Chain A
Amino acid sequence: MAPTIHYYCPCQSGESVQTPPPPHMASSSASFHPLHSLFFCEECDAVRCNRCVSVEVSGYYCPNCLFEVPSASVRAEKNRCARNCFSCPICRSTLQVVASDPPDGGDGRPSVSLSNVGEPPFFLYCNHCRWDSAEVGITFEKPTGLAAQLQKFEDSAPESLEFERLKEHFEPFLRTSSLSSLSHVPSTSSHHLPTSSATAAASAALARDVPGVGKYNPLARSRVGRDRTANKDEMPEYKSRMEIGVLGQLGSEGDSSDVEALRRMESAEEIASLEQRWGNSWTTSLRTSDLRPLRIPLHSKVSKRCPSCRHILIKPEQKAQSVRYKIKLVAANYLPAMTVALPHTQGADATRRPQAKVPSASDDRNAGAMMAGKSYPFHLALTNPLYDPIQVRLSVQRMHVTAATNSTAPEKARRTPFAVSLPTSSFPVAAFAEAWEYDDDDDMFGLEDDELGLEMGRTRDKDGKGKVKTVGVLEKRANVTVVGGEVVIGKEARGHVKFNMLVSYTYRSDDPLPSEDGAGTPSRTVAKTPEVKTFTFYTVVDLGPILPREEKLDPDI
């Protein structure tokens, strides 16, 4: 397993705790994310992750025909594609509309069909499991508008009719309660901090959609009290269309017939699996032969907002299949990207490659492993995405790990069995420049000397020669700086070499201009009086598993 580095989003920890959980706790993985999945809010100057952003639907589309469904008709079509898209009730792959075989020409070969679309009746066919809708008696005269034809069946189901009637019955009640809860919204939000506007909106929506909830809102209680009594008086009694017992038997035909079917069953496939049934809205028959093709559920494009300041972080383009964004504030454009590598495995990799291009699985598993009781160097490559140079300082979060070990059982003491050394002084990472992006000059980077940077790196290398050769700045090219660290693994070490690392970087902030705009000419940005800002974030570095000392290394590595 290749070593990984993940970035911390503080949303899981409370207001007071800003440090991440110890890395060896299983729960810590919930707080760390790969850099590319994180967002960055410029207003709050903070990292945001998919768990904490608030999400809004900005458009619906069918994942199969890619039709963009106007949000007005999404509800009427019950969130599913209303065109010709169906998924197989058996295997969930997409069904294809096929025509019947043309009439036999007599010579054993089918005659050429003259019509454009083929011969009716049409049916749905699964290209994966070969299920077809003719098996369950669903055929169509026309190959278009099939969903509309099937939705008629759906809508005429007794359960569906009952549900419609229920909605109708509660509609006046819902309307009055939504009106009353809407009138409360300004009052509730004004009582709260501005940050809780999302909560207020959510609770208002809850109060609107679920009648009766509004009265439990402590702030709105006094007002709702009056409305509730009024509403209660208006509520007439609901009478169902049919007896409850009858409804229960509609789909499954009741217990006795199920038992009868099970008794005659010859193979397990005759009973639909839970997965095949639980997406249905109503109780359905247990039998596989009663499964119906499913209209494909719609997908949505979403925009994402910062949870605290409500600024938009992600806003997609309207077109469903466009991968461009009107607004895209991702952390990768703000934080230095870091990759971590273990040189001792890379060396092995490079030499092995020409002979056997695909390393076997067992090789892969052990390749990254480190032996207990040894020390290993590792490389951290930092890539600066900003148009200004940054100064980075790295430090290992030590105290938390030790605190955890002190508080728990002595066997835990073995869990901090390694010491990590990193460069203690801060080091520069050069600015990102578009010119370096030119694909063809990739090879030049190694040769090109960075006036300041490489000089410094070299001198440091010389200084540390003999003693700490592995720790310090190792390489600089373009906007990448590679620093070396070292991990010393104790003799009794177990588990993974995994540690939290605090990264803080200082950059010249040109606040009137966003950093992107300040890219122009480097001289201009230098000329401005630089205001230096510091941003700090946590990462977790996982260098891979430790092989216990007793175990001998595989001879083939």
Chain B
Amino acid sequence: MDVPVYYSKAEFIETDTGNKVSRRATIAGPQNIILGGKTIISSGAIIRGDLRRTGPGHAVVISLGRYCLVGEGCVMRPPYKTYRGNFNYYPMKIGDYVHIGANTVVEAATIGNHVVIGKNCVIGKFTIIKDCAQVADNTVIPPNTVIPALALFSGSPGRFIEDLPESTQEMVESQTKQYYSRFQPLER
């Protein structure tokens, strides 16, 4: 019943923990990026791990949890601000079971677990998205917005639309897991 989503085997690199990263994605500063496992980075995605906080030592810039999907053409860019006269980038943390639709630009500070973000969205700087929230397709979330748990946001600027059903967590979890199992290589 589950229709596989095929990808060409040559395009994707699969890691030991089951992450599938497209060779056509731009991963800058990979040493600063953490993928939780079974996370898919689609082709054309840009992940800016190089925009790290100034200062010595190793810094995690972008961390993604398990069963995440970064859609085609997504841009993941850590947020920045000038605080007390110092320009700095700040880390971006994304939880488990998070799907980000194609061509969405994410500059959020924190995204919780079980979050679904639609296609063609702009998630402004330092946005905080709590667990089980959803952002509809084509939504623009202004910087510094807080999206509470189990809320659906839509529009430009993105506004609260409705509370999501109580079973959202289970649904998103099964959908994201199912997507990962459907995402199958096609040898050519």
Contact = CB atoms under 8 A, between A and B. Distances in A.
B157 A91 contact: yes
A170 interface: no
B114 interface: yes
B169 A323 contact: yes
B181 A332 contact: no
Contacts, number: 101
A443 B148 contact: no
A443 B140 CA distance: 38
B142 A321 contact: no
Contacts of B50: none
Contact of A66 (B85, B146, B165, B170): B146
Contacts of B188: 354
Contact of A36 (B8, B84, B165, B177): B165
B160 A63 contact: yes
B130 A94 contact: no
Contacts of B140: 128
Contacts of A64: 146
Contacts of A332: 167, 170
A349 interface: yes
B48 interface: no
A353 B5 contact: yes
A322 interface: yes
Interface in A312-354: 314, 320-323, 325, 328, 330, 332, 339, 341, 346, 349-350, 353-354
Interface in B116-168: 124, 130-132, 140, 142-146, 148-151, 156-160, 165-168
B74 interface: no
Interface residues of B, number: 43
B165 A346 contact: no
Contact of A482 (B1, B143, B148): B1
Interface string B75-101: 000000000110000000000000000
Interface in A113-133: 113, 116, 126-129
Contact of B84 (A37, A113, A129): A113
A381 interface: yes
Contacts of A116: 84
Interface residues of A, number: 47
Given A113-B84, A323-B114, A358-B102, A63 B159 contact: no
A208 B165 CA distance: 33
B181 A321 contact: no
A41 interface: no
A439 B145 CA distance: 34
A112 interface: yes
Contacts of A551: none
B52 interface: no
B43 to A, nearest CB: 8
B171 interface: yes
B148 A127 contact: no
B151 A328 contact: no
Contacts of B166: 314, 325, 328, 330
A258 B132 CA distance: 47
B148 A350 contact: no
A350 B102 contact: no
- What 8 A-B pairs come out closest when comparing CB atoms? A112-B85, A93-B157, A128-B142, A128-B157, A442-B181, A127-B142, A381-B1, A37-B165
Given A128-B140, A379-B1, 4 more contacts: A93-B159, A323-B150, A330-B167, A358-B102
Interface of A: 36-37, 50, 61, 63-66, 91-94, 96, 112-113, 116, 126-129, 299, 314, 320-323, 325, 328, 330, 332, 339, 341, 346, 349-350, 353-354, 357-358, 379, 381, 439, 442-443, 475, 480, 482
Interface of B: 1, 3-8, 38, 72, 84-85, 102, 114, 124, 130-132, 140, 142-146, 148-151, 156-160, 165-171, 177, 181, 186, 188
